[in-house]
Structure 1
């Protein structure tokens, strides 16, 4: 993406930050308190704002094809005053696992959250607990999506499960025992969550600095925006990705089938390609239209609704910032803006996230630290969401505990080099063919290269053999195939991100890259071992890996 950035655009601040950790991690041992370090940072408030599925390419400061639409002026202004980290990636691009990694500083096999059914109980909500030990008043407001009570926070008011866009139900710590502490508030969720956060900031009576995790539901599908945005982008042509209509050298038999025989069923689409679930169906596009016209209209409506929902996030981000300024706290508050993962906006004719392709795994990450006026504007280092907790703990004056696998990259704000970083960030998507027909896979993303292994089976053997309904959705088809159970072909993909930032050409079998691929496989195997990601409990996956590692 860095190749697309126009550094002459006013207010665009690009900072590429990556902090990857090679810490081997054990399951939570006896939990020791974090050591604190005397630092002036300790007195700063920390406002952590996280949206849901807000891909970096839908933020103006990242200068993608959508930047000229000016979708996020408030977030862009924040970036112009701080540091924009470009190469930050999710370790599993789906809501619950991403949030679990952020709260624990750990990867999926260590924190136990592999899919949407995962939970993080109070005793494992490490970030909140350690922030409290560091002297902060803590609050969690908005989308939670981790099932169990956010009990490690001093205060919470959260959406149960996915939450509603309009007139949301929330669970309020002050309204009784979880989960019977629900209240309903009229309005759009982005407005409601912001109202709650501002009210909490206004009414708290502690002299401690605050640590507020403010989580928007938006712009998660199905993109229900407030009525006031109905005219935003009306009649405007939204630029289309170059890979929307053509993907001839992209992918592998794992993502396309032998001789493209599975194109119709792997990966949900904008176009008619996936007849079970495509955006044209969701957007109610006339199926009698030609394939190209159907795709065009589906994409335009998809993006229009998505960006209108994003606009609501950005406007409410502006409200939060305005309140901090009016209350005199802006210059004493570190503000972080991110999303729990990215989102495919028609690239390769895909929708949703889950994939290890950059539009899905890349997380926006913007930091304004008022005590770091000389913080850099650009960087190309690589970080992931297990690093968020260590990063914020260091900003709070605390060290990273040994049980966290992530590592702080806060020294970047002081223009100091990072040392002992991994060569790339590890990624793992476990939910084989659930919801959006994405095969299970893992891989490594370095600054220049990406290596992906699609092993294509579910980790739950019993589920593979017996289940027909998954997360409330019936996966049976007229031909009797149950996609969520069906293994897919095994294959590798390799992309040169410097030459091919849009991941248009799978170069896994190109002769000139074979030495690089061998090195990346060694690094990938090492990281899987050191990060407790070796599938020790899943011998059927280990068997596939062993059989196809040298393919």
Structure 2
């Protein structure tokens, strides 16, 4: 029978002679390896980039200095195109506030995420708001250790009675609502509102505020929100875990109407520009018409709002640089939809025209994103979710339910197959039982085919975007070859997305 090892005392503990040195060696090694792997894991976590998403409202993708079509001044975005990638063919697939925001956050189209119209008191009975159990990219980043922040307009809540006593809840339709913490989808820091359009006296709920504890600020919204973003970068008040990467959304309401509340300093660049020189495009209605006069009244103020927002983007980029954050931060700038401003006799958005559909899109990541102005890639709002996660190193965490496509490899290396089309929709009834309403369409590099339903009547539109960039000539004929080809692609899409819109012209 083998002898038992001799027991000895060491620092008041008992161990076995001959085993003690090995135990110490293994324990020491374990501690060393644990420390190494902990540091390595922490280092890997730090390698994941910060993310800044700047999401504006009602900014036409043609109203940008670098696009070269309109006399609007955007010096900061123009400069960023030298280091970042700008897409001129980016569309908001459903060009109105709430559906666009839901697409951006969920990577899915409206019939999947249930936000089929704007969130307000009219659509509330039909459950039009971002579902609590819908997975957003912010939820995934939160699970990966990111600190997430949201500043500005949310517009994904259904208002409920008694309505919040703010000005845009006083009419026949209530728009504004508080977002409970459980519905913030991984955003720890919260400084936001649902929707509120007094830009020179905006209102907000803080992270810990209750429904009744909102406050007002006597400052132009974009300037104030840029300052809050800068505070977030510097971690003023310890609002985020400085050891971890962050993802911050700054959702700026202007250039959304009203257009006359911006600081007048942003109007200075346009003061001496003759109005006639800004009214040259053929799709602007003539003076003396309601929409033509509206365009002439608003165009300089609209441009001034854009220039003001561009200035705030410049401030945020500079703050990232000054705080040593810019080198490892993905900056993505876009908008929820465009703005007709009276063109095509359309007040603003939620229609089939390019001014409504096209939005700014600029992405920057120092030394990673290949810079330039790209006029080929047909990207859409649901593509932002998978692209962001892919760029950040979480490609394998993209849910299978996501309907958007990652363009990360194209952004980084200009590799990957280019999409051949974009699918568009809008003006849909809030009642899911009336989904056969509004418009659906498909857009390619050259053509746009769209169908607009008004009751039982279905109107078809076909525009040659190369030969007719102002969309003045509807070429739609059922015998037109492009109609047959594109209608087949659109029908396939409707079937794939379980959309009840009927392409029956009879």
TM-score bin, normalised by smaller chain: 0.7 to 0.9
Is the CA contact (8 Å cut-off) linking 2:90 and 2:358 kept in structure 1?
yes
* 1:87 equivalent among 86, 89, 96: 89
1:347 to 2:313 alignment: no
Native 8 Å contact 2:46 2:245 kept in 1: no
Residue in 2 that maps onto 1:54: 59
Residue 362 to residue 377, structure 1, CA distance change in 2 (3 Å): closer
How many angstroms does 1:195 deviate by?
1.4
SS in structure 2 of the partner of residue 401 of structure 1: coil
Match of 1:382 in 2: 378
How far did 1:205 drift? 4.0
Aligned-partner SS, 1:88: coil
Change in 2 beyond 3 A, CA 1:510/1:321: same
For residue 447 of structure 1, report the CA deviation from its aligned partner: 1.4
**Maintained 8 Å contact 2:99/2:116:** yes
3-state DSSP of counterpart to 1:441: strand
Which residue is equivalent to 2:156?
146
The answer on 1:412 being equivalent to 2:442 is: no
Aligned to 2:504: 546
Aligned residue for 1:309, secondary structure, equals: helix
Residue 498 of structure 1, aligned match among 450, 462, 466: 466
Q: Deviations over 1:235-284 (max 9, x none)?
A: 312422432456xxxxxxxxxxxxxxxxxxxxxxx8554xxxx45xxxxx
Structure 1 residues 479-518: aligned runs within 5 Å: 489-509=457-477, 514-518=480-484
Whole-angstrom CA distance in 2 between matches of 1:300 and 1:42: 50
Aligned to 1:184: 216
Q: Aligned residue for 1:523? A: 489
Whole-angstrom CA distance in 2 between matches of 1:206 and 1:39: 15
- The answer for the alignment partner of 1:463 in structure 2 is none
Cα pair distance change 1:530/1:170, threshold 3 Å:
same
| Distance of 2:425 and 2:149 partners within structure 1 | 30
Shift in Å at residue 376 of structure 1? 5.0
Q: Distance in 2 between matches of 1:378 and 1:546?
A: 36
Residue by residue, what CA displacement relative to the aligned partner does 1:5-31 show, whole Å, maximum 9, x if unpaired? Answer: xxxxxxxxxxxxxxxxxxxxxxxxxxx
Work out whether 1:364 is the aligned partner of 2:400. Answer: no
After the TM superposition, which residues 275-294 of structure 1 pair with which residues of structure 2 at under 5 Å, given as runs? 278=290
Find the counterpart in structure 2 of residue 9 from structure 1. Answer: none
Counterpart selection for 1:429 from 426, 430, 445: 426
Paired positions, count: 417
Does the alignment pair 1:302 with 2:298? yes
Deviation, structure 1 residue 350: 3.0
Aligned match of 1:226: 263
Distance 1:445 1:374, change over 3 A: closer
**Distance in 1 of aligned mates of 2:44 and 2:400:** 21
Superposed CA deviations along residues 449-473 of structure 1, whole A, max 9, x for unmatched, are: 110111123xxxxxxxxxxxxxxxx
Distance in 2, Cα, partners of 1:104 & 1:496: 32
Distance in 2, matches of 1:155 and 1:190, equals 18
- CA, structure 1 residues 303+371, in 2 after alignment: closer, same or farther (shift >3 Å)? same
Task: Trace 1:217-296 onto structure 2 (pairs within 5 A).
Answer: 217-223=253-259, 224-237=261-274, 238-244=277-283, 273=289, 278=290, 295=292
Mapped contact 1:163–1:169 kept (Cα < 8 A): no
* Residue 376 to residue 168, structure 1, CA distance change in 2 (3 Å): closer
Instruction: Determine helix, strand or coil for the equivalent of 1:338.
Output: strand
The verdict on how the C-alpha distance between 1:39 and 1:447 changes in structure 2, with shifts beyond 3 A counting, is farther
The 2-side partners of 1:491 and 1:122 are apart by: 37
CA contact (8 A) 1:135 1:209 kept: yes
How far, CA to CA, are the matches of 1:378 and 1:208 in structure 2? 33
Alpha-carbon offset, residue 379 of structure 1: 4.4
Question: d(CA) in 1 for partners of 2:242 and 2:307?
Answer: 33
Q: RMSD across aligned C-alpha pairs, in angstroms?
A: 2.5
Aligned equivalents of 2:320, 2:310: Cα separation in 1: 16
CA distance in 2, matches of 1:397, 1:509: 47
Report the Cα offset of residue 416 of structure 1. Answer: 3.8
Partner of 1:78: 80
Which SS does the other structure have where 2:504 is aligned? helix
**Cα separation, 2, equivalents of 1:123 and 1:356:** 31
Name the structure 2 match of 1:115: 117
TM (normalized to structure 1)? 0.71
SS at the partner of 1:236?
coil
- The aligned residue for residue 444 of structure 1 is 442
SS in 2 for 1:215: strand
Task: For residue 431 of structure 1, report the CA deviation from its aligned partner.
Answer: 4.1
SS of the aligned residue for 1:192 comes to helix
Higher-Rg structure is 2
Match of 1:338?
A: 334
Q: Which residue of 1 aligns with 2:434?
A: none
SS in 2 for 1:64: coil
Q: 1:481 matched to which residue of 2?
A: none
Unpaired segments of 5 or more residues in structure 1? 1-37, 247-269, 280-294, 434-438, 458-486, 536-540
- Asked whether the equivalents of residues 317 and 326 of structure 2 are also in contact (C-alpha less than 8 Å), the reply is yes
Give 1:125 shift: 5.0
The 5-angstrom pairing of residues 10-29 of structure 1 reads none
- 1:98-135 deviations in whole A, cap 9, x for unaligned? 00111111111111011112311443251210121233
Change (3 A) 1:57 1:40: farther
TM-superposition CA deviations, 1:54-98 (whole Å, max 9, x none): 1111111111132xx4x1101111122111111111111100110
